Amino acid sequence: MDLNEYYGDLSEEDIVFDVEDPNAVNLENDDYFEIDLGNPFETYDENKYTPKDGSWADEQNCTSLSLPYALFNKLAPAHDNLFFSPFSISMALSMLYSGAQGNSRKQLALAMGIRSGDKHEESISVSLNTILAMQSAFVNIHIANAIFPTHNKEFLQSYIESVKKYYKSDVLPMDYTGKPQASIKAINNWVEEQTNSKIIDLVSADSIKTETVNLLVNAIYFKGDWQHSFDPKYTSESTFYLNKSDSVTCSMMKQHGYFDYFSNGIFKTLAMDYKERSMSFMCFLPSGELELEELEKRLSGPMLKAILKGMEETEVRVSIPKFSSECTFDLKELLSELDITDIFDENLADLSGMDGTKELFIDDVLHKAFIDVNEAGSEAAAATAVCGDLDCGPMSFKVNRPFLFMLMEKQNSTILFMGKVTKP
């Protein structure tokens, strides 16, 4: 395809910058947004591009996956639209790690990428404090941890002090035997309060039993305004291509400005900051005949590191659909597939760092997440119970096909949320 088809027949007069906001562009005469580029699965010409610093496949020679990517690769095949918080899950597992001993601790360490000698609790505490410090008039972020032990079970004071120090965790005893329904209501009310009523009914009678002695819960809530918001008057119905033959109509948001951008001809990545630029929404868009499933399989820490290093501020015309998603997961089987098995076996579990005995084991790990992306910004919540491009004018980033996304804290590249959209 001729590149002019991507950019439209625009003159400099068509692009009018707001003096007060150099990133804002007047879209009144921006004909690009009215051009139907056709099915994006059929518009990629691999001869037009040369991947930066070698082929994309070379990045995949790095086989190690940290927990966020391992979780994504396990969850993605079974879900069309997917959204979860790897940070929330990591926090819950980290509270377990702090009380695990022996092989139980080794399995958790291996899955979470904790190496011998790492000061994991200190590292988590730094990340937690960095994220909580982003709270402002434009960015509302709240992370809460809690332990809900049975009221008649003695936990080691050293463990209680550790989770309070490193995870800022509340310790809230429950009477699971005598008052199971009241315990369920209290825990769900706590989660609902921490997530601004976005996560409701995390636990149920199926997950809380009379023999329950401990529940670890992490809740995270985020709502942020875009650094450069989308003007609702430019949002319109547009075609979203599910694959080569099927499509749906969606509400497509549009804007034209400067964003961090990466492309290697095989896929594109765009980063849209939230106000105060401490958080970013990253969108990963395959090109041509590359299926989203192939991009999913290659998603990894080394790949993301290479993308972040190769990003450059670029003039981009952005079209992205409004979308929302809510997902609920039972993570016990998934974590077992990541070789976290002993903690679920009453004969093998060693959580003696919690209570001084080997009587404790984990019955289940529950996770629920919510996101809403619109013109003003993004709102997300979750809870867990235990390369350059051609320099020839504005780039096109038209998200009219399935894509991956992340919400990332920029200072430490911490992935708070991630997911995919195949049908907005």
Residue 265 within any structural domain of the chain:
yes
Residues 84 and 160 in one domain: yes
Residues 265 and 350 in one domain: no
What pLDDT does residue 356 have?
Answer: 92
3-state secondary structure of 250: strand
Residue 342 within any structural domain of the chain:
yes
Q: Which residue has the tokens 């990340």?
A: 127
Residue 109 within any structural domain of the chain:
yes
Residues 231 and 220 in one domain: no
Tokens for 148?
A: 């809900």
Residues 236 and 312 in one domain: yes
Residues 283 and 412 in one domain: yes
Residues 95 and 214 in one domain: yes
Instruction: List the chain residues with pLDDT less than 50.
Output: 1-65, 387-392
Q: What is the pLDDT of residues 26-78, one digit of tens each?
A: 444 444 344 344 444 444 333 332 333 333 233 332 223 478 888 998 898 88
Q: How far apart are CA 319 and CA 162, in angstroms?
A: 46
Residue at which a domain ends, from 333, 348, 373: 373
What pLDDT does residue 254 have?
Answer: 94
Residues 108 and 249 in one domain: no
What pLDDT does residue 157 have?
Answer: 93
Residue at which a domain ends, from 373, 395, 412: 373
Partnered with residue 223 across adjacent β-strands are 140, 379
Residues 130 and 219 in one domain: yes
Q: Which of 347, 358, 343 is nearest to 105 (CA)?
A: 343
Residues 98 and 213 in one domain: yes
Range of the domain at 53: 4-63+227-322+387-421
Residues 97 and 126 in one domain: yes
3-state secondary structure of 38: coil
Q: What is the pLDDT of residues 82-126, one digit of tens each?
A: 999 999 999 889 989 999 999 999 999 999 988 877 788 898 888
In the DSSP assignment, the letter for residue 61 is T
Q: How many domains does the chain have?
A: 2
Q: Which of 188, 169, 173 is nearest to 91 (CA)?
A: 169
Q: How far apart are CA 224 and CA 251, in angstroms?
A: 20
> Which CATH number fits the domain that encloses residue 8?
2.30.39.10
Residue 398 within any structural domain of the chain:
yes
User: Which residues have C-beta within 8 Å of that of residue 255, sequence separation ≥ 6?
Assistant: 25, 27, 228, 230, 231, 234, 317, 318
Residues 402 and 310 in one domain: yes
